Amino acid sequence: MIHLDVTTDAHTAFVDITADIRRLVDQQGWSAGRLTAFVPHTTAGITIQENADPDVLHDLELCLDRIVPWKDSSYRHFEGNTAAHVKASLLGSSALLILDAGRLQLGRWQGVYFCEFDGPRTREVWVEFAGA
């Protein structure tokens, strides 16, 4: 397993880590199999999303904020970051990626995003390879 560090500079941030994962694939000489990218944090997640139009990420953030507002008088969690926990649960903590002939098999407009919901912080993404 390999750890990638991701530093965010905002409370909510979507960081494209596709190039970082591709670099790992090249460095490790991985060819065919499955990669799992896992986020070991309860207030951050990971998703595969469009990477051609930045407005998609803007809209994703907007919709998540509407569904799970940061402030709500009925939240009980004492740290005050309940919304971050819920958003992380909605997006999930891992993504399964297919690797063939040393290349990530993503759709034309897809990228892998680390999703920060309680930043800014320095976080980790764990990447594990399972050969075919």
The series of mean pLDDT values per 10 residues for the chain, 132 residues long, is 96 97 96 97 98 94 95 80 95 98 96 98 97 80
Q: pTM of the full predicted structure? A: 0.94
What is the predicted pLDDT for the residue at 75?
A: 79
Per domain, the residue ranges of the chain are 12-39+50-122
Fold of 12-39+50-122: Jelly Rolls (2.60.120)
What is the predicted pLDDT for the residue at 101?
A: 95
3-state per-residue secondary structure call for the chain: CEEEEEECCCCCEEEECHHHHHHHHHHHCCCCEEEEEECCCCCEEEEEEECCCHHHHHHHHHHHHHHCCCCCCCCCCCCCCHHHHHHHHHHCCEEEEEEECCEECCCCCEEEEEEECCCCCEEEEEEEEEEC
What is the predicted pLDDT for the residue at 25?
A: 96
What is the predicted pLDDT for the residue at 78?
A: 75
